[in-house]
Amino acid sequence: MKAAHYWHCFVGIQTREWLRFWQQRTRFASALVRPLLWLVVFAAGFRAVLGISIIPPYQTYITYETYIAPGLCGMIILFNSMQGALSMVYDRELGSMRVLLMSPLPRPFLLVTKLLAMGVVSVGQVYVFLLLALLVDVEPPLWGYLAVLPALILASLMLGALGLLIATWIKQLENFAGVMNFVIFPMFFMSSALYPLWRMNEASPWLYWICQFNPFTHAVEAIRFSLYLEWNPMAFGITAGVTVVLSLLATAGFRPQRTKILGTSKPA
């Protein structure tokens, strides 16, 4: 295979993902409304209950909004990744995923390209959210918008690989909603997206350690530090390592035949 074949395949998958996203504009609106509500309402409630707006000892984050904004960026990527995994299950039932994987190009290349396509869509939505967040005084350094890009891409790859791994074992489309809730909410709430880890440790040491073992925590920390022009090598390293492991497991285990149609199961 020539490099041109790989390039045409890459462009085709990217274009298809963007066209699908453009045809589902309500998905774009819902992806923004959810974190914006959290940013405005949750932050106001936090100040009303606790009576504070500054998050010590984090001197960079002047208000609670500036602290949770990176976590809400991770929330956008998390929900989009699970929706992307849902679309993979749907494509598998319709047969379009089988057609894609019949290509002579290597399966890992096709699946990683699919993950990149979903990741690019998620990153675009994150930047729109950050622009809207300026209205509530979330103003990271100007260079932070560029510095956060590698962290956003890495987080989207990790969560996309997780979604692909889940899609590997889902046989029926109807089962995916329950699995999605079982994954999304524990990952989001048991992380540093909304609360600093030191507060978690004060409240419950065992919950603190659960947050530490949650890979989403480190993805959020990588985004948070990068957005405010700081470097967190541990967060990047853990996120990258989990991404590699999940990608290997997902690409090795994905079977387009693993689906259940009209009550009959097709073998892998």
In the predicted model, what is the mean pLDDT of residues 88-103? 65
Asked whether the predicted pLDDT for residue 227 surpasses 80, the reply is yes
DSSP state of 39: I
Bridge partners, 139 (sequence order):
none
Which of 199, 161, 188, 211 is CA-nearest to residue 79? 188
Confidence band, pLDDT 50/70/90 cuts, at residue 266: very low
| SS3 state of residue 256 | coil
Does 155 or 196 have the greater pLDDT score? Answer: 155
Confidence band, pLDDT 50/70/90 cuts, at residue 265: very low
Asked whether the predicted pLDDT for residue 177 surpasses 70, the reply is no
Span 106-127, pLDDT tens digits: 777 777 777 788 888 888 889 9
Q: Tell me what pLDDT residue 239 has.
A: 92
Q: Tell me what pLDDT residue 52 has.
A: 53
- For the chain, what is the domain count? 1
Distance CA 110, CA 171 (A): 21
DSSP state of 265: E
Q: Tell me what pLDDT residue 216 has.
A: 93
What CA dihedral angle connects 253, 256, 262 and 267, to 10 degrees? Answer: -60
Q: Judge if pTM exceeds 0.85.
A: no
Confidence band, pLDDT 50/70/90 cuts, at residue 153: very high
Confidence band, pLDDT 50/70/90 cuts, at residue 160: confident
Left (φ > 0), alpha (ψ -120 to 50) or beta: where does 51 sit?
A: left
Q: Tell me what pLDDT residue 100 has.
A: 66
| SS3 state of residue 261 | strand
- The Cβ-side half-sphere exposure at 99, using a 13 Å CA radius, reads 6
Does 58 or 232 have the greater pLDDT score? Answer: 232
User: Computed from CA positions of residues 232, 39, 189, 113, in that sequence, does the dihedral angle turn out positive or negative?
Assistant: negative
Q: Tell me what pLDDT residue 112 has.
A: 77
Domain extent, residue 113, equals 3-265
In the predicted model, what is the mean pLDDT of residues 152-156? 92
Q: Are 168 and 256 in contact (CB under 8 A)?
A: no
Span 31-84, pLDDT tens digits: 778 888 888 877 766 665 555 555 554 555 567 778 888 989 999 998 888 877
Which of 205, 202, 210, 197 is CA-nearest to residue 71? 197
Bridge partners, 260 (sequence order):
265
Which of 82, 76, 50 is CA-nearest to residue 196? 50
Asked whether the predicted pLDDT for residue 240 surpasses 90, the reply is yes
Span 183-198, pLDDT tens digits: 888 888 888 888 888 7
Q: Tell me what pLDDT residue 51 has.
A: 52
Q: Are 177 and 264 in contact (CB under 8 A)?
A: no
Confidence band, pLDDT 50/70/90 cuts, at residue 210: confident
